[in-house]
Homo-oligomer: A and B are copies of this chain.
């Protein structure tokens, strides 16, 4: 009786621990039983209908030689991105599971959105190359997911994927077909785009309640090892990512070689700086997991150009420096001053290195005369590509974030952020001490009451 009276007066954080909390504000109703299912099934039905109308097998099978590249990229999308985000101690199911959900929907949606710009006789032909491009489009949503990790529902992520891939396909068309800029490894159109889209959405979805470090926003020993599975498969197959759609004499081997050496140089620099910025000279797992990959992002735009391996290594070195300094000094400031909460630090892995890649493209086209399919690549074209990408990403991300603020999308409360049990049946751990178990029980009871 007394509990029911005090109900409206206690703050949210206390209410959650009350064993008899009778109702939840609708904004934080994480029960998705019908909402998620209906949305997902509806989207799948729409996709199948659109495939029935528009999609057909490509008659030209020459793209089959790209199949090993495709499989490498495919592993990056599902295993690489998925496990990279498992570093959080209680968010592994969501990281690898929602990553799979986003990617499985995104690769279907991407074919349509990219295909509508390149229809042949009213049809979208699919082959290995267009499947690689669809995997690429999915990467943008997964990068944005990294910024929002732990703070969004699967309903929100499906909507974000739908919108982001649609906007991505427009910007990609603008950059590659209208501007005819070069961006073979997609430093700009995927990495910078995905990062700034996600950061803009994170800005709109700012949670003041997470200003202080959330107790779940940290790793454990084994979650950090799981994340290294993601890091390594991304690192290893990045040369395939940057070279998959390279065309022309020697373009593919150059893209492979440049990416390989950029990553290697970036890795050495990341280890060096990780020790240097730590007060006791120790390595930080978050830097090794992420900043080692920045070299692959930054070399993307000019990966297939004959920039010479030592230039690629130089780009990797700069990327490593930028990424480590970003994680160490910029991310805390962005969270506290700019109200941008970037869970995985995608700004440092994809955002800044993506811009660096765009700038490298501007510099290379300024210094050397490079052509692509007969068109001269100029610094002004590359600058326009970078600028439009950043602008469209930020505006698109902010608008998407505003849509995701709509109530009834299954948002979690601040208290339940970074916790799988909001959306997953989580097994009881036998090695968990009493305090933790009781927390978990309370949690379950609380949600069962919803």
Contacts and interface: CB of A to CB of B under 8 A. Distances in A.
Interface of A: 31-34, 36-38, 40-41, 43-44, 47-49, 51-52, 55-59, 61, 63-64, 67-68, 71-72, 74-75, 78-79, 82-83, 86, 89, 92-93, 96-97, 100-101, 104-105, 107-108, 126-128, 131, 154, 218-222, 224-226, 228-229, 232-233, 235-237, 240, 250, 252-254, 256-257, 260-261, 263-265, 267-269, 271-273, 275-276, 278, 280-285, 288, 292, 306, 308-310, 313-314, 317, 423-427, 429-433, 436, 447-448, 450
Contacts of A219: 427
Given A263-B104, A265-B48, A317-B44, A127 B221 contact: no
Nearest to A261: B108
Given A280-B448, A424-B282, A272 B41 contact: yes
Contacts of A154: 271, 283
Given A41-B268, A280-B447, A285-B424, 7 more contacts: A37-B281, A40-B269, A57-B254, A61-B250, A96-B232, A219-B427, A284-B424
B31 A220 contact: no
A128 B278 contact: no
Given A264-B107, A310-B55, A280 B250 contact: no
Contact of A51 (B101, B310, B423): B310
A428 to B, nearest CB: 8
Given A240-B71, A431-B429, A232 B79 contact: yes
Contact of A236 (B43, B78, B222): B78
Given A33-B276, A48-B310, A317-B48, A423 B282 contact: yes
B253 A51 contact: no
A88 to B, nearest CB: 11
Given A283-B97, A309-B57, A265 B108 contact: yes
Nearest to A286: B425
A40 B272 contact: yes
A260 B433 CA distance: 43
Given A257-B126, A317-B48, A37 B275 contact: yes
A288 B97 contact: yes
Oligomeric state, in copies: 3
A97 to B, nearest CB: 5
A86 B226 CA distance: 11
A426 B97 contact: no
A93 B429 contact: no
A96 B225 contact: yes
A253 B448 contact: no
B275 A36 contact: yes
Nearest to A231: B100
B221 A92 contact: yes
A314 B225 contact: no
8 contacts: A33-B281, A59-B250, A74-B236, A79-B232, A128-B253, A131-B257, A429-B431, A433-B433
Contact of A430 (B58, B306, B436): B436
A137 to B, nearest CB: 13
A8 to B, nearest CB: 25
Contact of A276 (B34, B256, B423): B34
Contact of A104 (B32, B226, B267, B423): B267
B283 A47 contact: no
A79 B40 contact: no
Contacts of A264: 104-105, 107-108
A67 B283 contact: no
B236 A32 contact: no
A236 B269 contact: no
Max chain B Cβ within 10 angstroms of own Cβ: one of A44, A83, A222, A250:
A44
Which 9 A/B pairs are nearest by Cβ-Cβ distance?
A33-B281, A104-B267, A40-B272, A52-B310, A51-B310, A37-B276, A37-B272, A104-B264, A68-B68
Contacts of A71: 68, 72, 236-237, 240
Contact of A280 (B33, B224, B429): B33
A348 to B, nearest CB: 17
Given A36-B272, A61-B250, A100-B288, A282 B128 contact: no
